[in-house]
Chain A
Amino acid sequence: MSANRWLATGNFFSTYKEEQRIFFTHLDRLLFCVLLAVLFIWPLVYEVSNKYMLVLDNILIAMVAIIGLNLVTGFAGLISIGHAAFVGVGAYTLAVFARTIGDSHVLITHAWPLMLIVSGAVGAMFGAFVGLPALRLKHLYLAIATLSFQMIFQWTINFFPLFNQGQTIPVGRVYWFTGMVSRGDHYLFWYYVALVIVIVFGLAVRNLLRTRYGRSLVAVRDNDRAADAMGMNPGLTKVYAFALAGFFAGVAGALHAYLYRGAGIESFTLAQSISYLAMAIVGGLGTLTGSFFGPAAIRMLDLQVENLVEWLKHFLPAAMNLATAFKPLTFGLVIVLFLMFEPRGIANWWRICRTYVKLWPFRY
C-alpha cells in the first residue's frame, strides 16, 4: 500500500492481492461514485424527449448484451456471429410467457425482475447448447457454427405459430411500488432499470475477471492447448463462456422486449448480430470498458446519420434511398477505419487519457 491513499504515481505493489484491486486509489473510488451519482441524478434535473431517452435505453441494453459478447469473443476468443439470436432467445422467452399466461399476468407485470432472470437463464441454457460444438470446432469453423444457430433461430421464429411467425408478440406494462409505470415514465423507468443492471453486471464481470474462472477464459483464448497442459479445462471453459454470454444476452433480450413492449424478429436478425460484433470491436475487444464505449459510439453514429439524412432531404428531394444507403456505408467505414488505425478500440483512447491524467504534469 502506497503512502498516499488518494493519489498514486506509478505502480507499487508488494502483494499480488494489491495488484488485483478494482480501485487503486481512493480517488478512483470517489470518481466512480460521482459518475454513478451523475448517471442517476441527471434525468431528474434535465428533461429529454422520449426519442432521445429511447436511444439511451437502447445503448444501455446493448451494453448488457455486449458485456456478454465481449466475454465470449473478446476474452475467450470464440467468435460468435449469432449474438442477436441469443438476445432473441431472451426476448422470446419473455414474449412466449406473456403469450401463454396472458400479457397482464402478475408474473409479467409485477415479478418482472424474476422474468429478467428467467430469460437470462434460458439464454444461458441455449448458450451452453450452442457452445457444445466449441468442444470440437475452432476458429472460423466455430464462427460459422454460431452463424448456423442464427439462421436456425430466425427460421424457427418465422415458422412456428407459437412465436407468432415473427410478428410482434405484445408484452404488458410493468408495475413499480408506486403503481403501473405510465406511458410518460416508461422510457425513464427502463433507463433506471437498465442502468442498475449495467452497473451490477459490469462490477460482476470486473470481479469475475480477477478470479480463476475469468483468467482461465483469457488463457484459453491465448492458447487452449497450453491452458490444457496447465491443468485447466478448455472444453468446460469454452462452454461456460458461451453460457455466460447467453445469460447476458438473455437479460438484454428481456429488457428489449419490456422496453418495446413486445418482441418481433426484426430486432434479432443477422444484421443485428453483425452490429453487435461491430460494437464490441469499436469499443475494444477484450476490455470491459470497451463494452460500454462500443454500443454508445455505434448508436450515436446511427442517430447522427439519421439526422444527417433528414437534413440532406431538404436539398435532395429525389433522394429516396439515402437512409438505406448511408447507414451501411458509415457503419462499414467506421468498422474498417477502426480496425485499420485503432484495432484496440475506444477503450485504448480511454487508457491513454487516463494515463495522461494520472501522470500529469509528467509524461512518458
Chain B
Amino acid sequence: MSYFLQLVVSGIVVGSIYALSGLGFVLIYKSSRVLNIAHGQIIATGAFITYALTVWVGIPLYISFFVSMVLTFFLAMSVERIFLRRLIGEPIISVIMVTIGLMSILDGIIYLTPFGGYNYSFPDFFPKTPINMGPVSISWTQMVGVIVTFTLIFLFTWFFKKSTVGISMRAVSDDQLASMSIGISVPHVFGLAWAMAGLSAAAAGGIIGNITGLNFETLHAFGIIVFPVVILGGLDSIIGAVVAGIIMGLIQQFASGYLDGKWGLSGTAEVLPYIILLIILLFKPHGLFGTHEIERV
C-alpha cells in the first residue's frame, strides 16, 4: 500500500511538472493556433539561464529563477515577432515546420554552449532530508516544485478569467475578426501569448532542473512527452493540461513501478503514454477537454 501511495505522490510531482510545461503549449495554441514544437528547447533554455545566473554569476536561486523567467519572456516574444508573425494565415504544416526549424536552431545554439555536452546540477538549496508524511516521503525540492507549479497554474487561470488582458486573449482565441473590431490588437495578443508561454517554460525548466539535474537530453525529452499530455487534455484547455499532466505522470509512475521487470518488460513509461493517448483519441478525437471544431464546407 505504501508503495502504491509513494507512486501516487511521485506521479503527482511529475504530472504537475508536465502540467506546467503543457501550459505553455496551451497558451500559444489557444491564442494563435500554433503548435510549438520548440517548447522543450525553451524549457531547457530557461533552466540553463537559471543555472548560469545562480552558479556562474552568483545570484541567489529564487532571484535568478525570476530573472530567467523575465529573460525567456522576451526571448519567446522576439521568436514570435521574428519568425511566426510572417506566417500568420499559412497552412498548419508550414507553422509546425517553422517551430521544428526553431527547435533545430535552438538545439544548435545550445550545443555550442557548454550545456550541450555536460551534465550540471543545481547546488542544494533546500534541506536534503525528505519530508515524511505517514507512509510516503517527498523531498523538499519536489514539494517546493509542486507548490510553485500549482501557484503558477492558479495565477495563469486567474489571469485568463479576470484580468482585462487575459479576457482579450480569450476573445482572440474565440474569434479573431470580432476581437479586432472591438479594438484588440491581435498580433499584440499573439506576442503576449508567446511571451507568457516562455515565462511558464522558464519556470518549468527551473523546477525540472532542480529535481532531475541539468541534462540537455532529459530537458529535450520533456518537450516531446508534453505532446501526449496536451493532446490528451485537448489542445486549447488549461484545465485539460493540468488533468492530463497528472494522468500522464501517474501512468508513467505506475508503468515503471508495476510493469517494468515483469514479463521482461522495460522502459514502458516511455511508450505507454502514447498507447493510451491513441486509445483515448479514438473515443474522444478532441481530447478530454478540447473544444469541438464545427466545420462547414
Indicate if the CB atoms of B100 and A277 lie closer than 8 Å. Answer: yes
Binds B, one of A151-159, A167-175, A250-258: A151-159
Complex Cα spacing A281 to B91, Å: 12
A141 in contact with B275 (CB, 8 Å): no
What's the Cα separation between A140 and B28 when bound, in Å?
A: 14
Query: Across the interface, do B112 and A325 meet the contact criterion of CB distance under 8 Å?
Result: yes
Cα separation A143 to B116 with both chains bound (whole Å) = 29
Q: Does B111 contact A (CB under 8 A)?
A: yes
- Looking across the interface, which residue of chain A has its beta carbon closest to that of B274? A148
- Which B positions have Cβ atoms within 8 angstroms of A? 35, 83, 86-87, 90, 92-94, 96-98, 100-109, 111-112, 116-117, 224, 227-228, 231, 235, 265-267, 270-271, 274-275, 277-278, 281-282, 285-287, 293, 295-297
Q: Does more than half of chain B's interface fall in helix, strand or loop, or is it mixed?
A: helix
Residues of A near B117 (CB, < 8 A) are: 320-321
Q: Write the chain A residue with the least CB distance to B275.
A: A152
Q: Which residues of B contact A225 (CB under 8 A)?
A: 295-297
A137 touches B285 (CB 8 A): yes
- Asked whether A139 and B105 contact (CB < 8 A) given A144-B227, A321-B111, the answer is no
**Do most interface residues of chain A lie in helix, strand or loop, or is the interface mixed?**
helix
Q: B residues within 8 A CB of A320? A: 117
Interface: A236 (CB within 8 A) = no
Would you call A281 and B295 a contact (CB within 8 A)?
A: no
- Residue-wise interface mask of A (316-335) relative to B, using a CB-CB cutoff of 8 A (1 in contact, 0 not): 00001100111111111111
B285 near A79: Cβ-Cβ < 8 Å: no
Whether, in the assembled complex, A198 has its beta carbon less than 8 Å from a beta carbon of chain B, the answer is no
Chain A residue with the shortest CB-CB distance to B224: A270
Residues of B within 8 A of A223 (CB): 297
Check if A181 is an interface residue, CB within 8 A of chain B: no
Cα separation A274 to B108 with both chains bound (whole Å): 15
User: Do A335 and B101 touch across chains, with their CB atoms under 8 A apart?
Assistant: yes
Over the window 119-158 of chain A, the binary record of Cβ atoms lying under 8 Å from chain B Cβ atoms (1 yes, 0 no) is 0000000000000010011111101110110011001101
Q: Are A159 and B116 in contact (CB under 8 A)?
A: no
B-binding residues in A (CB < 8 A): 73, 77, 79, 133, 136-141, 143-145, 147-148, 151-152, 155-156, 158-159, 223, 225-226, 229, 270, 274, 277-278, 281, 285, 320-321, 324-336, 339-340, 343
Tell me which of B90, B97, B274 contacts A278 (CB under 8 A): B97
> Measured between alpha carbons, how far is A321 from B111 in the docked complex, in Å?
7
**Do B108 and A335 touch (CB < 8 A)?**
no
Scoring A79, A141, A281 by chain B CB atoms within 10 A of each residue's CB, the highest score goes to A141
Within the assembled complex, what's the spacing in Å between the Cα atoms of A328 and B192? 28
Q: What are 5 A-B residue pairs whose CB atoms fall within 8 Å in the complex?
A: A140-B231, A145-B277, A225-B295, A320-B117, A332-B103
Q: Which of B96, B108, B278, B296 has the most CB of A within 10 A?
A: B108
Do B231 and A141 touch across chains, with their CB atoms under 8 A apart? Answer: yes
Chain A residue with Cβ nearest B265: A159
Residues of B within 8 A of A137 (CB): 281, 285
Q: Which residues of B contact A79 (CB under 8 A)?
A: 92-93, 96
Closest residue of chain A to B107 (Cβ to Cβ) is A328
A79 to B295 CA separation, bound complex (whole angstroms): 19
Q: Given A226-B297, A340-B86, are A155 and B101 neighbors across the interface (CB < 8 Å)?
A: no
Q: Is the CB of B267 within 8 A of A133?
A: no
Chain B residue numbers with a CB within 8 Å of A77 are 93
- Residues in A with CB closer than 8 Å to B235 are 140-141
Task: Let me know if A155 and B116 touch, CB within 8 A.
Answer: no
Contacting residues, chain A, for B106 (C-beta < 8 A): 332
Q: Which of A73, A148, A270, A336 contacts B278 (CB 8 A)?
A: A148
Contacts A324-B111, A326-B108, A329-B105 given; does A339 touch B98 at CB 8 Å: yes
A340 adjacent to B87 (CB under 8 Å): yes
> Given the complex of chains A and B, what is the CA–CA distance between A78 and B217 in angstroms?
29
A324 partner residues in chain B, CB cutoff 8 A: 111, 116
Measured CB to CB, the closest approach of chain A to B173, in angstroms, equals 15
Given contacts A136-B281, A270-B224, A335-B98, 7 further A-B contacts (CB under 8 A): A137-B285, A148-B274, A158-B267, A321-B111, A332-B106, A335-B97, A336-B102
Task: Tell whether, in the assembled complex, residue B116 and residue A325 are in contact, meaning their CB atoms are under 8 Å apart.
Answer: yes
Inter-subunit contact A140/B93 (CB<8 Å): no
B109-A329 in contact (CB<8A): yes
